[in-house]
Structure 1
Amino acid sequence: MSEEGTAWSGHEGAQAFAAVEAATDWLLGYPFVLRALAADRIGAGKVLVDYGCGPGRVADHAARVLGARVLGADTSPEMLELARASATAVAEYHLVENGRVTDLPDGCADAVMCNHVLASLPTEDALLGVFTEIRRLLRPGAPFVLLTTDPACAGTEYASLRIGEPGEVYAPGDEVTVRLRRTDGSWQRMRNHAWPVTVYPALLERAGFRDVVRHRPSVDEALAVADPDLVASRPWSAERAGPPLVITKARAAP
């Protein structure tokens, strides 16, 4: 097991993130993000921004599945370097500097997705800053789809992650150690922050969003949307007992 880190920063952090398996996310997370976007007809001719794209794997998948023009954005130049080398279906990559996506104008996006970014942020003000920048990118009425873990599921070992320690209760913003399974079967430990999903609606409304809804995908639902080989690869006992991922969807207010 590696040393515990604070963020996916630098070349080493980017390589570590790229080696994460993310099986639980590919079962209960990313397919439902894409389903939520497809429900808004985000496809050919539409612009989708992946805010916090990391090494680009999800952005690349979204571009291929949805057919949209996908733009990746991340605070890490090293992550973007990895993404440019491997996620070839993504149209462009942009660095986030001082809280702003470089070279993208106001209202340029038909949709934004943001997957597992907020747990790295230490304060509600930082969350609000991300939501405000995402609202800037979106045209009025456009959808924003957010994928997060639920710290209320602390201590349960899922197929590819464990949030916090058994028996612990985390207040909003508390530091929490998250374990993520690598493709070689070992575990990567990272210090993140616990943000209950109930925190997001009020912050989203302050940032200029409306019509906030939440959905917690289940394994039974995943049978229809996730990769069949992945679904059949293991019993998903913990995921069935207590699904740990939540999709929050909102719309940019006029």
Structure 2
Amino acid sequence: MGTVWKGDDEVAAGFDSYDDLFERTLGYPAVFSALGLGAPEVRTVLDYGCGPGKIALRVAERYDVDVHAADISDRMLHIARTRRAHPRIRYHLIGRPSLDFLPDDSVDAAMCCFVFVTVGDPDRLRAITAEVHRVLRPGGRFAVLDTNPDTTGIRFSTFRTGEPATRYEPGQQRRTVLYLPDGGALRLLDHHWPRDTCRDLLAEAGFRDVDSITPLLGDTDRPPPGAEHPAEAVHPPFLITAATK
């Protein structure tokens, strides 16, 4: 049995307390850039799989945009609404891939951060991708951020996905550990998808100009405090797949 995402207080609390140090250093900035946030034509953003609202709040505070943040977990959304309320964010509980609160061609940009790896059913991934394509306006950008399947098993500063020296088949379950600031750990089961999986899904849904980004903390970048020699300087921890409708 995989991780229970709906109605699990421990999982929701763990995600809220997790220090997403390198996600906010490497992953999210690459997503925001790929979506063109800050451009005058990008005024409405969809955050599909928003969790406890950390990314939605950063977007709303940094850019002059309205954010639709959706998730299947009522516990995650309770945290988001309680701790990360913002006048430009609307939080939505969804029970299936359908985004029935949004009409066709109604958002300027969309993102899925650490969502695809939680889904083991390719048909559900297709449904999510197709629904995002439906609500995104022509010319709008979609970015999918997940852990990099090519660096599975490497112990990064704040997490490890999969076991070292282990080969995983597409869709196979693997253990992920998020190391929490209090010294504890949140242990999850997610799914391994090769890097071409997301590219193929986006192309199948009708997206064009599909591109992949693997940001790396290079020698010229300043490591975050407390991480002077991180694995992220040698191995790219994240994969961003971005495309245009």
TM-score (normalizing by structure 2): 0.92
Match of 1:156, SS state, is coil
Alignment correspondent of 2:69: 72
Deviation at 1:11, TM superposition (A): 4.3
Alignment correspondent of 1:116: 114
Query: Percent identity among equivalent residues?
Result: 35
Deviation at 1:5, TM superposition (A): 6.0
Deviation at 1:15, TM superposition (A): 1.6
Match of 2:138, SS state, is coil
Paired residues of 1:216 and 1:243 also in contact (CA < 8 A): yes
Alignment correspondent of 1:247: 240
Amino acid at match of 1:187: A
Alignment correspondent of 2:228: 235
Query: How many pairs were matched up?
Result: 243
Aligned equivalents of 1:219, 1:195: Cα separation in 2: 23
Structure in which a larger fraction of residues adopt helix? 1
Amino acid at match of 1:93: Y
Pairing of 1:175-186 with structure 2 (within 5 A):
175-186=173-184
Q: From the superposition, tell whether residues 239 and 129 of structure 1 become closer, same or farther in structure 2 (CA, over 3 Å).
A: same
Q: From the superposition, tell whether residues 221 and 143 of structure 1 become closer, same or farther in structure 2 (CA, over 3 Å).
A: farther
Deviation at 1:237, TM superposition (A): 2.7
Amino acid at match of 1:249: A
Alignment correspondent of 2:156: 158
Amino acid at match of 2:101: D
Give me the CA root mean square deviation.
2.1
Q: From the superposition, tell whether residues 206 and 192 of structure 1 become closer, same or farther in structure 2 (CA, over 3 Å).
A: same
Q: From the superposition, tell whether residues 16 and 236 of structure 1 become closer, same or farther in structure 2 (CA, over 3 Å).
A: same
Deviation at 1:9, TM superposition (A): 2.7
Aligned equivalents of 1:21, 1:45: Cα separation in 2: 28
Structure 1 runs of 4+ aligned residues shifted over 4 Å read 40-45
Quick one: higher RCO (CA 8 Å, sep 6+), 1 or 2? 1
Aligned equivalents of 1:105, 1:97: Cα separation in 2: 17
Deviation at 1:220, TM superposition (A): 2.5
Paired residues of 1:33 and 1:145 also in contact (CA < 8 A): yes
TM-score (normalizing by structure 1): 0.88
The runs of 5 or more residues in structure 2 that have no matched partner are none
Moved more, 169-178 or 19-28: 19-28
Aligned equivalents of 1:175, 1:127: Cα separation in 2: 15
Amino acid at match of 1:141: G
Aligned equivalents of 2:182, 2:92: Cα separation in 1: 30
Q: From the superposition, tell whether residues 222 and 54 of structure 1 become closer, same or farther in structure 2 (CA, over 3 Å).
A: farther
Paired residues of 1:163 and 1:177 also in contact (CA < 8 A): yes
Alignment correspondent of 1:96: 94
